[in-house]
Amino acid sequence: MLRKGACNAMISEHCIRFADAKAMADVASQSVHLVVTSPPYPMIEMWDELFCRQPAIKKALHSRTGINAFELMHRQLDRVWDELYRVLVPGGIACINIGDATRTIKGEFALYPNHSRILTHMLKMGFTNLPSILWRKQTNAPNKFMGSGMMPPGAYVTLEHEHILIFRNGGKRQFNTQEEKTNRRQSAFFWEERNQWFSDVWMDLKGARQETGDQQLRKRSGAYPFELAYRLISMFSVMGDTVLDPFIGTGTTLFAAAVTGRNSVGYELDSAFLPLIGQGCHHAIELGHHRIGERVDGHLRFVRNREAAGRPIKHTNQVYGFPVMTRQETEMIIPLPAAIQETSKNQFKVTYAAPEASADRQPATVPRASQAVKTGQLRVFE
Ligand SMILES: C[S@@+](CC[C@H](N)C(=O)[O-])C[C@H]1O[C@@H](n2cnc3c(N)ncnc32)[C@H](O)[C@@H]1O
């Protein structure tokens, strides 16, 4: 549940630790409900400098033994995955976005299968593997095909996807009290969103990014789109949960948690990201209004199309008064972030306007994308 603050306003809290996620001493065991993250990708050159801080990895790369370097890089990540096992609640979920790497070492071209190396370690740890998502990232780059051109057999298949691996810590999460059950129902998503989000191939992932800040830093951050974190958080956690990102980078997971009414904790080695995260936080409210407005517009469009096709919808959302496909959506609410405030160093608090049906049973008003405030600095859903 979202915590109530002074004046009964709902609040969420977000903090960033500039420290190594291999030992997240500030995160209590079994205190995290969801992990959404993307590590530095082993064997992708942009992350060599970071991994090569370990002399053994530097040596392996320089002595050109690719498979050894690959293994040693993963052993660094393993230590963070081990921490996830400790901090996740029973039934908590970890979503890891990872791409495989292709690289030529000593004239030998090879694929380094990052996703399967992480998967193997997570299974060894005792995580349950759930069906995962292929994120299709099509490239139109003219040099995307590698190898011997049109001459068999030395041409290579182009990698145009990444993985979103999904794991659960043990069995299904339990919601026992009436309050927990109500919060879970209120955290529902739309039926038509379920049909899109729970597909195993994401072809349609739209991004959102702030146009402000250090673009060079943003470029070398390997940031994922806001929509990726927004969806995963909406799919696998409920309002008031705590979301952890051990590799927070530019803060995308934190912004998505703030917009969806979840708390968050982020770890990051590189404190140069702080100004970018700070700026992003201040845009999160507008970003949230736009995304929520877009969801509602999308839903109302879906309802109109369905009704026009002579297929009426029989349930009604009790809060907003619009039709919904299933009983599970009738109590759904979308908390609207109202303000974000830095409470102390690297800690932020978000307050929300909770939609409630009024006493005279008029439905609550919902934000519409067309009414969302936009600034020149924010480019949303490119
Ligand atoms: C792929 S980026 C994450 C990008 C992020 N998802 C975003 O949207 O901006 C990986 C980040 O992890 C950080 N990092 C690498 N190893 C780390 C560690 N052991 N502990 C904490 N942060 C780490 C890197 O500095 C980098 O910013």
Provide the pLDDT for residue 7.
Answer: 52
Decide if pLDDT at 158 tops 50. Answer: yes
Provide the pLDDT for residue 217.
Answer: 72
Decide if pLDDT at 254 tops 60. Answer: yes
CA atoms of 346 and 51, how far apart (whole Å): 26
Q: What architecture is the 3-141+157-278 domain classified under in CATH?
A: 3-Layer(aba) Sandwich (3.40)
For 282-288, what is the mean pLDDT? Answer: 90
Is residue 167 within 8 Å of 97, Cβ to Cβ?
A: no
Sign of the CA dihedral running 300, 306, 308, 311: negative
Mean pLDDT score of the chain: 90
Burial class of residue 269 (count of CB atoms within 10 Å of its CB; 0-12, 13-18, 19+): middle
Q: How far is the CA of 247 from the centre of ligand 1 (A)?
A: 4
Q: How far is the CA of 39 from the centre of ligand 1 (A)?
A: 6
Nearest to 226 by CA among 376, 38, 1, 59: 38
Ligand 1 atom at minimal distance to the Cα of residue 250: 9
Task: Give one DSSP letter per residue of 285-301, joined into a string.
Answer: HHHHHHHHHHHHHHHHH
Is residue 1 within 8 Å of 260, Cβ to Cβ?
A: no
> Structure tokens of 193?
């969103």
**Which of the listed residues 247, 265, 281 should we mutate to test ligand 1's pocket, taking the one with most ligand atoms within 8 A of CB?**
247
Provide the pLDDT for residue 8.
Answer: 59
Give the model confidence (pLDDT) of 5-52 as tens digits. 655 579 999 999 999 999 999 999 999 999 999 999 999 999 999 999
For 161-190, what is the mean pLDDT? Answer: 98
Residue nearest atom 21 of ligand 1, based on CA coordinates: 268
Nearest to 348 by CA among 279, 288, 291: 279
What is the DSSP pairing of strand 263-267 with strand 10-17?
parallel
Decide if pLDDT at 163 tops 50. Answer: yes
Residues touching ligand 1 (Cβ under 6 Å) are: 20-22, 38-40, 50, 80, 221-224, 246-247, 249-250, 252, 267-270
- 371-381 per-residue burial string, b: 16 or more CB within 10 A, e: under 16: ebeeeeebebe
Ligand 1 atom at minimal distance to the Cα of residue 218: 9
Provide the pLDDT for residue 381.
Answer: 26
> What separation, in Å, do the N-terminal and C-terminal C-alpha atoms of the chain show?
32
Domain ranges of the chain: 3-141+157-278
Kindly state the percentage of the chain with pLDDT values over 90.
77
What is the 8-class DSSP label of residue 171? S
Helices and strands: H and E segment counts in the chain: 10, 19
**Which of the listed residues 205, 268, 279 should we mutate to test ligand 1's pocket, taking the one with most ligand atoms within 8 A of CB?**
268
Provide the pLDDT for residue 209.
Answer: 54
Q: How far is the CA of 305 from the centre of ligand 1 (A)?
A: 42
How would residue 146 be classed by pLDDT, with cut points 50, 70 and 90?
confident
Provide the pLDDT for residue 374.
Answer: 41
Nearest to 35 by CA among 222, 250, 266, 318: 266
How would residue 357 be classed by pLDDT, with cut points 50, 70 and 90?
low
CA atoms of 249 and 217, how far apart (whole Å): 10
Q: How far is the CA of 112 from the centre of ligand 1 (A)?
A: 20
Which residue do the tokens 């004046």 mark? 7
Provide the pLDDT for residue 142.
Answer: 73
Residue nearest atom 13 of ligand 1, based on CA coordinates: 247
CA atoms of 108 and 148, how far apart (whole Å): 13
pTM for the whole thing?
Answer: 0.93
Cα Rg of the chain, angstroms? 22
Q: How far is the CA of 263 from the centre of ligand 1 (A)?
A: 19
For 359-380, what is the mean pLDDT? Answer: 51
CA atoms of 19 and 247, how far apart (whole Å): 10
